[in-house]
Amino acid sequence: MTAKIAHARLLCQSLTIGALILGALPAHAQQATSKSFVDDFDKIDRSIWYVSDGWNNGAHQNCTWSKNQVKAEGGMLQLTFAEGKSKDRNYLCGEIQTKKRFSYGTYEARIKTATGKGLNSAFFTYIGPADKQQHDEIDFEVLGKDTSTVQVNQYIKAKGGNEKLVPVGQGADQSFNDYAFVWEPARLRYYLNGKLVQDVTDPSKIPQNPQKIFFSLWGTDKLANWMGKFAYTQPTTMEIDRMAYTAPGDKCQFEGSIACTLN
């Protein structure tokens, strides 16, 4: 079972293990939030992104978030996992998250994941107790134990159990792939390389609360059954070529976007 935990020092932090549930949200909690955007990562736009630095998410995570493991180079966002001492951890890892929250719309990212058992290369949206909200989440996670698949999943008020493994092909760490989801009040669709791979139409299994967008690469010594037995050999990097969010009714943000066929 997986779930994301909010860390007290973060504006909103995540991982899969369990979550606290705060009181019920008012009916108007879901509303228009941030505007459409596309980021080609020629640089890290600090007006959009917050870089996690100096903490970890608990005993299950064997690395410390470090700003030094996050950079934009060659038109790519690069998140790296590497040896490096920080507090009580012997590894450093990278994560960014949006400063603003986003609600219904189309979310798309072009990614090549990291290589290594015990690692998780993730593209997801999340909100939770650190933001005084209930835990909602929508996930793409490539686990280093088997990079030929990507796990899609969602949490509603901290309840998960919606996992599905989708074949990627030659390996998510060998080439770039396009990951996308279209989030609507009564429908949630996941796409891989333009192909619909999961279609959720049960409203009870669809998050309703605006969330932040995350990219993260982290490792574990403790979640071997889920992520594989950790075995570090050398630094490894998750690369993100592009991220786009298209609000409902807006024009698509780049040629070939899933949103171009929806609006």
Catalytic residue among 73, 83, 108, 141: 141
Q: With CA atoms as reference, report the closest residue to 147 among 132, 165, 125, 124.
A: 165
The one-digit pLDDT tens for each residue of the chain (263 residues) are 333 433 333 333 333 333 322 223 333 334 446 899 999 999 999 999 999 999 998 899 999 999 999 999 999 999 999 999 998 999 999 999 999 999 999 999 999 999 999 999 999 999 999 888 999 999 999 999 999 999 999 999 888 889 999 999 889 999 999 999 999 999 999 999 999 999 999 999 999 999 999 999 999 999 999 999 999 999 999 999 999 999 999 999 999 999 999 85
Cα separation, 242 vs 149, in Å, equals 21
Catalytic: 163?
no
- Which amino acid, 78? Q
Cα separation, 20 vs 53, in Å, equals 23
Catalytic: 137?
yes
DSSP reduced 3-state for 29? helix
pLDDT of residue 102: 97
Cα separation, 75 vs 110, in Å, equals 12
Tokens of 71: 């950079």
Catalytic residue among 95, 108, 137, 239: 137
* CATH code linked to domain 50-261: 2.60.120.200
Tokens of 70: 């996050």
DSSP reduced 3-state for 10? coil
* Alpha helix positions (H), the chain: 224-227, 259-262
Domain-wise residue ranges, the chain: 50-261
